[in-house]
Structure 1
Amino acid sequence: MRITLKIATSLDGRIGTSTGESQWITGPEARLQGHRLRAEHDAVLVGVETVLADDPRLTVRLPDGEQGRDPLRIVLDSKLRTPPFARLSKPGTLILTTRSVIPVGEAEVLRVTGDSNNRPALQAVLDTLVSRGVSSLMIEGGGRVAACFVAAGVVDAIEWFRAPILLGGDGRPGVAALSLARLAHAPRYRRLAAEPLGDDLWERYERV
């Protein structure tokens, strides 16, 4: 499975303010490219904190004349906090949890093995997606989910949309703590391209 991390941040790598406000950091051109990337993947994945903060749809919305299919939407939700009225509590969404299954709207809920923190274990998540025929996955949030996949060394590519604003150290990071003791341990990526999109910058990276 090819895994891509898509992030939209401020210049200093923040996905939201200290209060969690995040819509919209980037402009319409960057958001449109994000929809095109969505259409290229079999599945997109977020953590429940993103669901609670933004109530995203994670569907593909393109201008007239452009074709795109909706990917499978994945939510990592160990305690099943996704509200039954959320936009993702619909058919086409798979919620992965570590607790006993209860209905969440019309979404499919599946219990998977937990890690040491009783969150869905990364390997269990990947195994589940492979069993569903997913060959390309895009991670769309939040920072803790991004850090989990990056730290595991499974992120093959990064699509980074950077807006010309600063949110400061109390803003919410695009990638949460990796607990690195040495620079030599830092995950490394090679930049493939950098392209302006309106006022924003779209940077593309692949794993070294």
Structure 2
Amino acid sequence: MSRNVTVTLKLATSLDGRIALSNGVSQWITNSKSRARVHQMRAEHDAVLVGVGTVLADDPLLTARTVPAPDTQPARIVADSKLRTPRQSRLVESTGLGRVILAHDDHADPSPFGATGAETWAVGSDGSQIDLNGLLRRCEAEGFNRIFLEGGGTLAASFLAAGLVDVLAWFRAPILIGGDGIPAIGLLGLDRMEQTRRWSLTAREAFDDDCLELWTPI
């Protein structure tokens, strides 16, 4: 991967690292001040990236809703190997607000999105998912050097396992959800402690009882 592209992984969780209840309910874990900070961070990046699972579950808009609004909205990218994003999703129907990009493997058929205004990028595949390095190379070619990765857990785990996360921005709310909640990070496939990676705390911000910590890999 070209290191000209910086990936910031944002997590917003309970104290025990959960992003939703077992039934999928997730609004709202963090408070309104934390959410406003997320919108500010989106505005500071060239592109916001999520996995297709997040789109199917939440139908997010992913715009930076700051006051005042940014001069240019970040591009909104979906890692969607099989192009399962609905044509009627809020993302696809909001291309007038800014670029919407569906990154897929080489075998998916992009023709259903031809008249929607959404862009489709064939970035190759790596097993069952898109080629993350291929995606970041395309991002760099498009001038997207600051990527804000917002999940979900499977995509977050894939970037972490590949060593492609440069900054971890972790918002935590003072609640506990428990082991039956949905974890922020999917399976990493580790079986030895020496495979784990250590992180260095570089900054901390407080939003009432919520906390944002910024970490970089050591």
Matching residue within 115, 119, 137 for 1:108: 119
**In structure 2, how many angstroms separate the alpha carbons of the residues matched to 1:68 and 1:39?**
9
Q: Which residue of the partner structure matches residue 84 of structure 1? A: 87
What is the correspondence of 1:1-208 to structure 2 with a 5 Å cutoff?
Answer: 1-64=5-68, 67=70, 69-89=72-92, 90-91=94-95, 92-98=99-105, 99-104=108-113, 105-117=116-128, 119-208=129-218
Equivalent pairs counted in the alignment come to: 206
SS at match of 2:112: coil
C-alpha contact (below 8 Å) 1:36/1:68 kept by paired residues:
no
C-alpha contact (below 8 Å) 1:10/1:164 kept by paired residues:
yes
Letter in 1 for 2:50: V
Describe the superposition over 1:125-174 as per-residue Cα deviations: whole angstroms up to 9, x where unpaired. Answer: 11111111111111001001000001111111111100111111121111
Which TM-score applies when normalising by structure 1?
A: 0.94
Letter in 2 for 1:93: V
Deviates more, 1:95-104 or 1:74-83: 95-104
**In structure 2, how many angstroms separate the alpha carbons of the residues matched to 1:125 and 1:116?**
14
Structure 1 runs of 4+ aligned residues shifted over 6 Å read: none
Identity fraction in percent: 46
Structure 2: runs of 5+ lacking an equivalent: none
Distance 1:106 1:116, change over 3 A: same
C-alpha contact (below 8 Å) 2:9/2:156 kept by paired residues:
yes
**In structure 2, how many angstroms separate the alpha carbons of the residues matched to 1:136 and 1:71?**
10
C-alpha contact (below 8 Å) 1:42/1:134 kept by paired residues:
yes
SS at match of 2:149: strand
Q: CA RMSD in A?
A: 1.4
SS at match of 2:214: strand
Letter in 2 for 1:95: L
SS at match of 1:78: coil
Which TM-score applies when normalising by structure 2?
A: 0.90
